[in-house]
Structure 1
Amino acid sequence: MSKVVSRGVSAASGMLGGAIAGAIFKQVWKLASGKDDAPQANSDEYGWGEVLFAAAIQGAIFGVVKAAIDRSAARSIHRATGK
């Protein structure tokens, strides 16, 4: 039963983490670039540097948020189930 609960919590926390990371990235990008939207990789109006810089920031934020939420969920499940 705890595997089922763990998978459900993992799926829900993944969706929540994606939403949180997206919101954080949007704010960080506004501060870093002064623009509302990050460059799209297939857009001709941005150069390689700006596209890759945005992708690096986004990846770092998503990685940190995912690790924090996964760790928090794992600790909560452990406390609740003892496993």
Structure 2
Amino acid sequence: MKASKIAYKPVGLALGAVSGMLAGALFKQAWKMLGHDQDAPDATDEERTWNEVLLAATLQGAIFAAVKATVDRAGATATRSLTGTWPG
């Protein structure tokens, strides 16, 4: 295993935590922008419709994936700038 990949592990873990918090905040804002007054529904929320539950899950998944990819890519690019090697 490359030294840069080993060195990137703790950075990647920290970035993962930050990206999760950022994605959660973005999802809450997006859900409100769609005109929903309540928090996003859980899959087991009996009082919410199938459409609402599936829309929330789809939107949340898309936002989390996009934020994770953005943060991972930025972290790898920064690592290459600092070390001269790509961490992957």
User: Which of 3, 24, 28 is the equivalent residue of 2:5?
Assistant: 3
Say which SS state the counterpart of residue 33 (structure 1) adopts: coil
Alignment of 1:4-83 (within 5 A): 4-83=6-85
Q: Which segments of 5 or more consecutive residues in structure 1 lack a partner in the other structure?
A: none
When the two structures are superposed, what TM-score results if normalisation uses the length of structure 1? 0.94
* Identity percentage of aligned residues: 46
Distance 1:69 1:36 in 2: 29
Superposed CA deviations along residues 41-70 of structure 1, whole A, max 9, x for unmatched, are 101001111000000000110011000000
Q: What per-residue deviation string (whole Å, max 9, x for no partner) do you get for residues 4-23 of structure 1?
A: 32001110000000000000
Structure 1 consecutive aligned stretches of length 4 or more whose deviation exceeds 6 Å: none
> With structure 2 as the length reference, what TM-score do the two structures score?
0.89
Distance of 1:34 and 1:50 partners within structure 2: 10
RMSD: 1.0
- Count of aligned residue pairs for this structure pair: 83
More helix as a share of residues: 1
Tell me the amino acid that sits aligned with residue 51 of structure 2.
Answer: G
How far does residue 2 in structure 1 lie from its aligned partner after superposition?
2.5
